[in-house]
């Protein structure tokens, strides 16, 4: 979908060959996506390490529980329209 909708905006007829332009832009996109995925892997690994601590997991569970209880009371007290 990206190559159909966004890529043609960055191609020009004057200058380099179209195939070379497509190759260069595709390599840039692949590099950016690869860097993003590597960043996500490091972040999720850190979060997994953080949640291996039982105290932090208990605090997180408590906070999520409070949020869910608050949302349920909000839903209970709201008027149906």
The pLDDT of residue 49: 94
Rounded to an integer, the average pLDDT of 22-46 is 93
Residue 54 sits in which domain range?
A: 2-77
Please report, for residues 10, 37, 57, the alpha-carbon distance to residue 40 in angstroms, rounded to integers and kept in the order given.
27, 5, 21
Provide the domain count of the chain: 1
| Contact indicator for 21, 12 with CB cutoff of 8 Å | yes
Long-range (24+ apart) CB contacts under 8 A made by 29-38 are 29/2
pLDDT category at 43 given cuts 50, 70, 90 is very high
Supply the pTM of this predicted model: 0.62
């Amino acid at each position: 979908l990206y190559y159909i909708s966004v890529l043609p905006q960055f191609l020009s007829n004057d200058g380099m060959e179209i195939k070379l332009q497509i190759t260069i832009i595709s390599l840039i996109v692949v590099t950016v996506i690869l860097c993003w995925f590597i960043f996500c892997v490091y972040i999720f690994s850190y979060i997994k390490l953080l949640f291996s601590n039982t105290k932090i997991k208990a605090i997180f569970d408590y906070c999520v529980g409070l949020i869910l209880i608050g949302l349920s009371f909000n839903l209970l007290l709201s008027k149906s329209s």
